[in-house]
Amino acid sequence: MSKPFDMELFLAGVLIGSQSTRKRHLRQAEVIRADIAKHWQREAPWAWQRKHVAWFLEHRLDRHSEATRYYYLLTVRLLARRLQKSWVFNL
C-alpha cells in the first residue's frame, strides 16, 4: 500500500506569506491534485504536463467566480515554480 502524496512537503520550499495564505494554497493544491488524479490518473505533480493543469483551470473552474479562478491561478504558479516549469496560463 502506497502512502498518500504529501502536498505540504512538496510545496514547503515555495510557500510564503501568512499562515492563512499558506493553508489556502495547500487546500487548493490538494483539490488540483485530486481532480487531476481522478481524471488523468496522475497522482503526483511530477507526472503532470501543462495540459493537465490547463484542463483543471479551464474545465473545473469554469463555473466559479473570477476571484476564485485568480486564487487557483496563484496556486498553480506556485506549483509550476516548485516543478521548475515555465508554464504560463491566462484566465
Q: Where are the domains of the chain?
A: 7-83
Give pTM, 2 decimals. 0.93
* Integer Rg of the chain from CA: 13
Taking Cα atoms as reference points, which of 67, 75, 56, 88 lies closest to residue 14? 75
Is the four-CA dihedral 10, 52, 37, 28 of positive or negative sign?
positive
Q: Report the pLDDT value the prediction gives residue 27, as an integer from 0 to 100.
A: 97
pLDDT along the chain (91 residues), means of 10: 82 94 97 97 95 96 96 97 93 72
Q: Report the pLDDT value the prediction gives residue 14, as an integer from 0 to 100.
A: 94
